[in-house]
Chains A and B, each alone.
Chain A
Amino acid sequence: MGSYWESVLIFLGINTVLALSLYLPISAGQLSLGHGGFMAIGAYVTVICTTWLGWPLPAGLAVGGLVAALAGALVGFPALRIRGIYLIILTMGFGEIVRIFFLNFEPTGQASGIGGIKHLTTLPLVTLVAALMLACLMRFRGSRIGRALRAVQEDEVAAEAMGVNLTRVKVTAFALGALGAGLGGGLYAHHALFIDPAQFGFFRSAEIFLIVVLGGVGSYWGPVVGAAVVTLLPELLRFVQEWRMTVFGTLLVLCAVLRPAGLLSPRRRAAA
């Protein structure tokens, strides 16, 4: 009994980490559908550290996260000039490019992936990481950058007029978001024990995106709720095994219709 639920909860924790990390750029108004790419980078780099170099998991995670953050900063710059739907495509393209890179990169097995990863992810560890991220986000909100972020979310032009360095805020949000995704990827790799490029494709990015918008971007609890719903619901729906995706899809439509701003939407502001 414990083993099954432990695994489900670990995945829940990982999804929470991923969702919280995507929440950051989205709350800065940057819709990113390429988070799978950052997750992939984190996963592969962490595995290289633990499997080839024999480092302990925390060290591997740190390096994986950092490399992912670097990639995030890199993507963050061109993302400055691009907004809305266009940014979605830019990030989607980035995610695909990362996946295809790993599909062709010999040292990491190309399509065959890397197996035999040691099981180092534990429920306490995942919970710790998720809790830390949540705590950081909470602190963040009150900090200068956090408030700058909120200002940017409300109205970019006004924020810039008030002296907010848009570049710094947006790139930071992207980089930090990528860092979180990298951590999620590393944690995932050491629980699944096998990774290949297919795990980090567009589906993954779309799933994380879905989790965040489902929960609502009004609050940092949104991603948490979203992760719970998306991770647990398929398990819950096992008794309708045959029609699971239809039920899930219908629920999504209902959520969108009944709670368009997300499950945890803040009090609705007056319509424009």
Chain B
Amino acid sequence: MLLQQLVNGLMLGSTYSLIAIGYALIFGVLGLVHLAHGEVFMMGALIGLQLVLWLHAGPAVALVGALLGTAVLGIIIELTAFRPIRARHGPIFAPMVSTIGVGLILQEVATKAFGGEQVGFPHRLEPVTWRLGPITISSVQLLILGVSLALMVALHLWVTRTRMGMAMRASAESTLTARLLGISTDRVILVTFAVASALAGAAGVLVGLSFNAISPFMGIDMGVKGLAIMLLGGLGNIYGAMVGGLLLGAIEVLSVAYLASSYRDAFVFAVMILILIFRPQGLFGVGQVR
């Protein structure tokens, strides 16, 4: 059973990673926590679902559509809810309040547009299950793992090889210096938001395909977890977020398997608190905690 549980954990964890990476990207570049990120994830799932229903499309189209759709959504959020505040040098709370507002709006819009209940992808997209020895894996689980890894690799390449990617890292290091170097931080921020939101949207479709539990409120839980993972991995550190997500998935699944699900969240938070106490900068964070 242990092996199967680990596999379960990896699958769950890879979706967590995608969301946590988004937080890390935004925090890295802006120093802000985007409290509506979970709702962007949710919108990704819903956009994917609508594409499947309207165009009778397959998961691939849903995925691409959600990526694009949430990227656009992310840009809109940046322009309306973050940028105006940045211009006024408000304190740290203001963007948080703003994103809470955005989250509420997205939830209600989703409820009105798609109904308040949980829906699922149509069953013709039902996964194929394979048995490899003691482990059972479904095609969707492999899809999740595959797509997540692919996206992470793509992100890594983008951040290390492309100009825009490197500009983003520079801005994350120091906005002032980046600007002095001629980088348009405003543009970088937009791109960051687009990429982070796209990843969340992809995660939404993957979760929707696998777990069949798409609802306007699915973002809340994911949002909190993604935030916690980002912290675990080290603020703004996308590799930390990747590993942290997989780790969290494993911890969650194992705690359910060997303890009880009702303690799961407590256990997870307790682990995180311990890590924070003994290593406040997270697992992979470096330097001082500001």
Contact = CB atoms under 8 A, between A and B. Distances in A.
Interface of A: 78, 81-86, 88-90, 92-94, 96-97, 100-101, 103-104, 202, 206, 210, 213-214, 217, 242-246, 248-253, 255-257, 260-262, 271-272
A256 B101 contact: yes
26 contacts: A78-B273, A78-B276, A81-B280, A82-B280, A83-B290, A84-B92, A85-B231, A85-B235, A88-B33, A89-B272, A97-B266, A213-B93, A243-B108, A243-B112, A245-B107, A248-B104, A249-B103, A249-B105, A250-B101, A256-B85, A256-B94, A256-B101, A260-B90, A260-B94, A261-B90, A261-B94
B95 interface: yes
A269 to B, nearest CB: 10
Contact of B289 (A82, A206, A243, A262): A82
A216 to B, nearest CB: 9
A81 B228 CA distance: 18
A83 B231 CA distance: 12
Nearest to A206: B100
Contact of A249 (B88, B102, B276): B102
B269 A210 contact: no
Nearest to B96: A213
Interface of B: 27, 33, 80-81, 84-85, 88-98, 100-105, 107-109, 112, 220, 224, 227-228, 231, 235, 262-263, 265-266, 269-270, 272-273, 276-277, 280, 289-290
B268 to A, nearest CB: 8
Contact of B231 (A89, A96, A101, A103): A89
Contacts of B101: 248-253, 255-256
A71 B108 CA distance: 36
Contacts of A243: 108, 112
A214 B97 contact: yes
B25 to A, nearest CB: 15
Given A85-B33, A251-B101, 11 more contacts: A82-B277, A83-B289, A90-B276, A100-B266, A244-B108, A246-B109, A248-B101, A248-B104, A250-B105, A257-B94, A261-B91
A25 B105 CA distance: 29
B231 A255 contact: no
A250 B104 CA distance: 8
B98 A252 contact: yes
A71 to B, nearest CB: 14
A143 B93 CA distance: 27
B104 A252 contact: yes
B269 A93 contact: yes
A245 B228 contact: no
A105 B279 CA distance: 31
B264 to A, nearest CB: 8
A26 to B, nearest CB: 9
Given A210-B100, A249-B101, A97 B91 contact: no
A213 B96 CA distance: 9
A16 B62 CA distance: 46
A252 B100 contact: yes
A89 B90 contact: no
Contact of B90 (A217, A242, A256): A256
A54 to B, nearest CB: 31
A96 B266 contact: yes
A100 B264 CA distance: 9
Contacts of A103: 262
A118 B124 CA distance: 54
A210 to B, nearest CB: 6
Nearest to B266: A100
A252 B93 CA distance: 12
A256 B84 CA distance: 9
Contacts of A253: 80-81, 97-98, 101-102, 105
A260 B269 contact: no
B272 A93 contact: yes
A257 B112 CA distance: 26
In the A-B complex, the 9 residue pairs with the closest CB atoms: A260-B90, A252-B101, A249-B104, A260-B94, A93-B269, A256-B98, A249-B105, A213-B93, A100-B266
